[in-house]
Amino acid sequence: MVQRASRDNRGHCASVPYFHIGIILLLGIASYANSLNVPLQLDDHSTIRVSISLNSDLYSIQSFFHKARWFTDITFALNRLLHGEQVLGYHLINLSIHLSSAGVIYLLVHRAIEALKQTFLILSDDECHPFMQRFIPFATAALFVCHPVQTQAVTYISQRYTSLATLLYLSSLLSYLMARLSLADETKKLRIWSWGPACFFLAILAMKSKEIAFTLPIMIVALESLLFRGQLLKNRLFIALAAGLMLVIPLQLMYTQGLVSPEIILNQIAAETRNISRSDYLLTQFRVVATYLRLLILPVNQNWDYDYPVYHSLFYPSVFAAMLLHISLAGIAFTLFIRSQKQLTSGNPAAGISMRIACLGIFWFYLAMSVESSLIPIRDVIFEHRVYLPSAGFFMAAAACIAGIANHRQRFRNGSWITIVLLCFVLTSSTIARNRIWSDEMVLSQDVLHKSPNKARASLAVGMLYVRRFLPEMALPLFVKAVELESDRDIYWMNLNSTIGIIEEYEGRCSDGLKYHATVETVNPAYRTQWLAISSNNLGLAYEHLGNLTMARENYLKAVTVNPMLDLAWYNLALVAARQSDTGNTASSLKALRTINPILERQAAKTIRKQHPSVQLNPQ
């Protein structure tokens, strides 16, 4: 891999790939050094507890086929075995995966340029060629390793599913290129028997890490077409292996779900949520992918949990503009492919290399996005970790464009190196700052709440943290807001119910409804009416706590309407009516309570006489 000397390098160590990779690794370490003690966040607790048991599942073939993300689960199980819930070990593995991905990206782009040179018989006697082969791989990997949009895939332990699948995906592609270059070199044909099986094996592991690896066979075909003129596309073994890889994930669905029809399989794949149609999800993804591009260009206002609207028409201005952007980029990619063909075969091969790599990068970005940003509805329409694998293509295209502009003059080439160094410095600083937010669970949750104030999940997360810190009074308004935003989610009501119960002021006026729960997040359907009455009563108490007596009374009335035998609701209705000096409703509530619970009625009357002596109660 030692490159020829030229006026551009003058024999300096900067021309050595190992030196470049060392700089890239240092950038990654600097960017994430302050993330190694980030506590378990959000889903991390459940993720590391439900992963595979090494004692029973590691060697089970049945487990391998039943668990969609078997390989990543094994890494979590090993972490749990070695470190329990001590976060340092988990973060070291995540960071190692990220650094390895950056190193593989460097080698992958380097080999891609070598493939173009080999295919089009490009000699390295022009100083522009070594510049291309040094700058594009370095810039791509350096931007990838230090960009702050990657923090969710690296710092968030649970998203090892994404980062590990990406590493294996990239490694499989690199193995393919190594095998393909060996096939073209008469002196190295034996190497194909090591790199070829490695490509296939790594592809299988990628698909057993996360479903985003489904596009890997298509990416291999794209590499063959763009870098080798598609010479292997007539080879039956190559086509058979690519088709076999495409079937891995569908066959797993058939095995685990007992599915036999392709139509049923497609419906099952699209079944994570029924609340968003496929067409609406696709329209929304036009805007989402544009947001990903904006984050890659200008990584500001990052958010763990975006409050993103679902679009229902192509003719929303923002949706239509996003669609035009994507069509334009596709057109640019096609134009680059056509022009690069002419440049590579005559006249200016250095420009042809930059154009072809930029074309590959654009295609990579959209193909890698297609699993999670197309016609398969996912409950959450946007998450930053989903751009982790596609970002490699974006940075590849960006680096190739910079190189293409700079390759004409020496001073432009020097300027491009300075530009990348300054850009990496800015991005590394931004990543460090973003990791500071991740380092405190309350800071991260409040950051989400500030940026997504109408997201019920954000209010719930901050409220739960207040409860854990023994501040139920601060949690209560957040739980009320969560219930107001999404009243159909049992988990929001459950947290409200339990929080009311630990506030001393409301002792004896509420019930947590635990006896009606089926699980920690759902209610037993047989007792939903009783539970709804209790929950409405508790919501009334919460509004009373917030000083909104009108809403408190409305919810007490709802509770007694749903369950007229709920004595606590009649008790609270009498008290709030007394606070509003409503003698008639106070008396009628006490009368209803007397027939259900005479002891509680006497207690209510006593409290009203003491706190609201101006309210005249019926002496009977």
The string of pLDDT tens digits covering residues 223-254 is 999 999 888 887 777 888 888 887 777 776 66
Distance CA 552, CA 567 (A): 16
Separation between Cα atoms, residue 27 and residue 528, nearest integer Å: 55
- pLDDT for 20 beyond 70: yes
- 314: tokens are 């192509």
> What is the pLDDT at residue 4?
41
177 falls in which pLDDT band (50, 70, 90)? Answer: very high
Backbone angles phi, psi at 517, to 5 degrees: -80, 140
Determine the pLDDT at residue 267.
56
Identify the structural domains of the chain with CATH numbers, from first to last: 13-299+307-438 (no CATH), 443-563 (1.25.40)
Confidence of residue 15 (pLDDT cuts 50, 70, 90): low
Alpha carbons 320 and 283: distance in angstroms, whole number:
9
CB within 8 Å of 415: residues ≥ 6 apart? 406
- What's the pLDDT score for residue 364? 97
Q: Six-digit token pair at 329?
A: 């980029």
The pLDDT score that the predictor gives to residue 9 is 44
Residue whose tokens read 């080698």: 107
Both tokens of 98, joined, read 């990220």
What is the pLDDT at residue 120? 86
Confidence at residue 264, expressed as pLDDT on a 0 to 100 scale: 56
Per-residue model confidence as pLDDT tens digits over 459-487: 999 999 999 999 999 999 999 999 999 99
Question: CA torsion 541→544→550→556, rounded to 10°?
Answer: 20
Q: What is the pLDDT of residues 129-142, one digit of tens each?
A: 688 889 999 999 99
Between 567-579 and 583-596, two packed helices, what is the crossing angle to 10 degrees?
160
Residue 3 clears pLDDT 70, i.e. is over it:
no
**Is residue 536 pLDDT above 60, yes or no?**
yes
At 328 the pLDDT is 97
DSSP code string of 509-554: S----GGGBSSSS-B-GGGHHHHHHHHHHHHHHHHHHTT-HHHHHH
Residue 61: CB partners within 8 Å, gap ≥ 6?
none
Give 60's pLDDT tier (boundaries 50, 70, 90): low
**What type of residue sits at position 82?**
L
| Mean local confidence (pLDDT), 529-558 | 93
Number of other residues whose CB lies within 10 A of the CB of residue 489: 16
Summarize pLDDT for 191-225 with one digit per residue, the tens: 778 888 999 999 999 998 998 999 999 999 999 99
